[in-house]
Structure 1
């Protein structure tokens, strides 16, 4: 599935890198993130994820060179709102 306005990043298949979703511009002033789910496409791995203030961070590994993967981050807020944002990770030999 293509997502034309999704931010795109490059990583090596052997790299384990952190990727961040910054929700500060979307959240209300006193609203916080109370839950998060980071869902990778098949073939790439989310090793761990965490919430730090208004940012969700995920450590991502794996992938096959020459393949693009979409990773989704879904949050639930203290106001009961739910939203999903995606990013694309293009795996290339570096």
Structure 2
């Protein structure tokens, strides 16, 4: 699990590279992002997508001092499903 530190007032783009020595002939066919815990004034997913090899997300907000699990769940062209999570720590910088 990776760690990302962001300011509560920043808008941050993040990418998970699924193609790096993992997919082989497969591609990402679907990608979903989830923030845990989901809470008022918490970390928010503003936009997301994928390009077949990487999953992309834009996040914003979050309470200073809080940590969130940002999880990417992908479906591959062969039907396999996998997840990767990132810990996002929110701190004033």
Deviation at 1:55, TM superposition (A): 0.5
Measure the CA separation in 1 of the matches of 2:76 and 2:52: 12
Q: Could you state the TM-score of these two structures normalised by the residue count of structure 2?
A: 0.90
Give 1:20 shift: 1.0
- Secondary structure at the aligned position of 1:70 is classed as strand
User: Equivalent residue of 1:35, what SS?
Assistant: strand
- What is the match of residue 67 of structure 2? 68
Query: Is 1:20 paired with 2:19?
Result: no
Query: TM-score normalized by structure 1?
Result: 0.89
The answer to whether structure 1 residue 39 and structure 2 residue 38 are counterparts is no
Rounded Cα–Cα distance in structure 1 between residues aligned with 2:22 and 2:80: 11
Q: Which runs of 4+ in 1 moved over 6 A?
A: none
- What's the counterpart of residue 49 of structure 1? 48
Aligned-pair CA distance for 1:51: 0.5
Query: How many aligned positions are there?
Result: 88
Distance 1:53 1:27 in 2: 10
Q: Give the alignment's Cα RMSD to 1 decimal.
A: 0.8
Residue pair 2:29, 2:52 contacting (<8 A) in 1 also: no
